[in-house]
Structure 1
């Protein structure tokens, strides 16, 4: 168990703030209802992130840190990030926000399943059981055989799988790269890719929508910074479970803004997924403590 001292409490608040910012950003994206191309939304998001992280990086570390030590892995991380986000934005345009958000949380299950191959770490029986139960939760949310599966469902699952690889790369970078450098380089890669695809597919937003675009960028930046500060303030075993507050906020936004109410079957799957994800996060953090990765 962890002691709820001031640092832990601050880290938990930051994680909840990050999760809430991400969920609110997703609500804004869904509110466009497919009016703007995904590339335009991605362009606004990543350009805003880039313009925020660049001065922060220069002020904190100077120009030398702009060029990362692990360039290839940083490129892979940036590419995987924008692909995962693109799939997710497509999904929330086609299925309820809560369902899409929950399905993306397949990523901890995928990471755990791939751990023996990617890191050479042993996964115990209890974590394997949690992975299997978690995948059952995913199937309950999808409800295969009971209704036609929307392409948005496949997109959300794809986003979660790609996000798992994004997190694996992040973990491989964590020992050698400064978190702010990694966040900046991911925003730079996303900014370049999104704007390249935007060149022939741009719709001039209305003044109100322009403000929403700025809000999306701001919420992403706030979420990213809060996440970085949270993980820097307390161990993952303390803060990781509170990352699932994203799903709770997404359910609230879906209900109050879009009138989407998850049915009992979907809620059962979501609860199973949250509980197994929290269990895996706690077990993984304890395993890392035993290996001496968390001081």
Structure 2
């Protein structure tokens, strides 16, 4: 199991470095092009994700087409808003708002899946939203489209998680990954056509780092979940905040004020508590054969 957890840390390190490449572009390349070329490079992970019994057509042919389309839409919007957030905001602040995803999952699971949520998880939800208010401080600081994009990214990520539950175990990994990549590829390709800008050599290198590292992260995640339970691997996602603080301080020279730091801490604690409680409930239900 230790190897799986370590691969989880490596996976999210790759994701964090991938996001840093987006920020290094500094908005010099249209976001739609970044999303398109990044998604194209993420396709390199498909041969590694494909199992011996899988067929290539299953990348686009799902047992539940509606769920596939939902994941494709979430992938498109999530990649776009993620790129905007990391371009506009300090990395730590962007990650903090994106990490609202577990909180959104809790709310959506009640609204869409009719799951029962007890007071501890609702308390974590409230604490998380207080953290958001502390970070954003509406009326006391200027809010940007980056803040809105980061929150939307967290929300679409939560919808993506809900879609995984809707897909169930019968949907293949290659199908789910294909939806998450082909959605951004199609959307980015269509939106970049009217105002296409040919990237410079430096921009090509940065876009390549973004896409290839995201593909590598997907491969690492696949192997990590083979060697360790998802419940042990998932919390390693929060290690991205350490990378964000290091990159923000040494590479991008970002300085976070203390209220933002407090808000980020509240969001992280809320997300971790929400995840732990969800995992405990899920484990208990499986043991009692409720799910």
Answer yes or no: same fold by TM over 0.5.
yes
Q: Compared with structure 1, are the counterparts of its residues 154 and 192 closer, same or farther at alpha carbon in structure 2 (3 Å cutoff)?
A: closer
Counterpart for residue 31 of structure 2: 38
Contact 1:111–1:165, Cα closer than 8 Å, also in 2: yes
Superposed, which structure 2 residues align to 1:234-273 within 5 Å? Answer: 234-273=228-267
**Structure 2 gap segments, 5+ residues each:** none
Deviation at 1:260, TM superposition (A): 0.4
Of 186, 202, 205, the match for 1:192: 186
Q: Secondary structure at the match of 2:26?
A: coil
Of 21, 29, 35, the match for 2:14: 21
Report the Cα distance in structure 2 between the residues aligned to 1:60 and 1:209, rounded to whole angstroms.
Answer: 38
Answer with 124-133 or 152-161: which moved more: 152-161
Report the Cα distance in structure 2 between the residues aligned to 1:79 and 1:228, rounded to whole angstroms.
Answer: 22
Q: CA RMSD in A?
A: 2.0
Of 22, 42, 47, the match for 2:40: 47
Of 99, 104, 109, the match for 2:103: 109
Counterpart for residue 274 of structure 2: 280
Report the Cα distance in structure 2 between the residues aligned to 1:54 and 1:78, rounded to whole angstroms.
Answer: 19
Q: Compared with structure 1, are the counterparts of its residues 220 and 60 closer, same or farther at alpha carbon in structure 2 (3 Å cutoff)?
A: farther
Contact 1:237–1:286, Cα closer than 8 Å, also in 2: no
Verify: 1:182 aligned to 2:176, yes or no: yes
Contact 1:57–1:65, Cα closer than 8 Å, also in 2: no
Of 126, 136, 158, the match for 1:132: 126
Verify: 1:12 aligned to 2:5, yes or no: yes
Report the Cα distance in structure 2 between the residues aligned to 1:11 and 1:269, rounded to whole angstroms.
Answer: 31
Of 231, 246, 250, the match for 2:225: 231
Q: Compared with structure 1, are the counterparts of its residues 235 and 57 closer, same or farther at alpha carbon in structure 2 (3 Å cutoff)?
A: closer
**TM-score computed with the length of structure 1 as normaliser:** 0.91
Contact 2:104–2:155, Cα closer than 8 Å, also in 1: yes
- Paired residues, number: 288
Contact 2:76–2:185, Cα closer than 8 Å, also in 1: no
Verify: 1:70 aligned to 2:74, yes or no: no
Contact 2:5–2:232, Cα closer than 8 Å, also in 1: yes
**Structure 1 gap segments, 5+ residues each:** 1-6
Contact 1:75–1:186, Cα closer than 8 Å, also in 2: no
Report the Cα distance in structure 1 between the residues aligned to 2:206 and 2:57, rounded to whole angstroms.
Answer: 34
Contact 2:49–2:219, Cα closer than 8 Å, also in 1: no
Contact 2:224–2:233, Cα closer than 8 Å, also in 1: yes
Q: Compared with structure 1, are the counterparts of its residues 88 and 186 closer, same or farther at alpha carbon in structure 2 (3 Å cutoff)?
A: closer
Q: Compared with structure 1, are the counterparts of its residues 235 and 55 closer, same or farther at alpha carbon in structure 2 (3 Å cutoff)?
A: closer
Answer with 102-111 or 196-205: which moved more: 196-205
Deviation at 1:54, TM superposition (A): 5.2
Report the Cα distance in structure 2 between the residues aligned to 1:290 and 1:187, rounded to whole angstroms.
Answer: 33
Q: Compared with structure 1, are the counterparts of its residues 230 and 207 closer, same or farther at alpha carbon in structure 2 (3 Å cutoff)?
A: same
**TM-score computed with the length of structure 2 as normaliser:** 0.92
Tell me the alpha carbon deviations over residues 34-85 of structure 1, each in whole angstroms, 9 at most, x when there is no partner: 1101111011111112243157527552345332111121111111111122
Counterpart for residue 283 of structure 2: 289
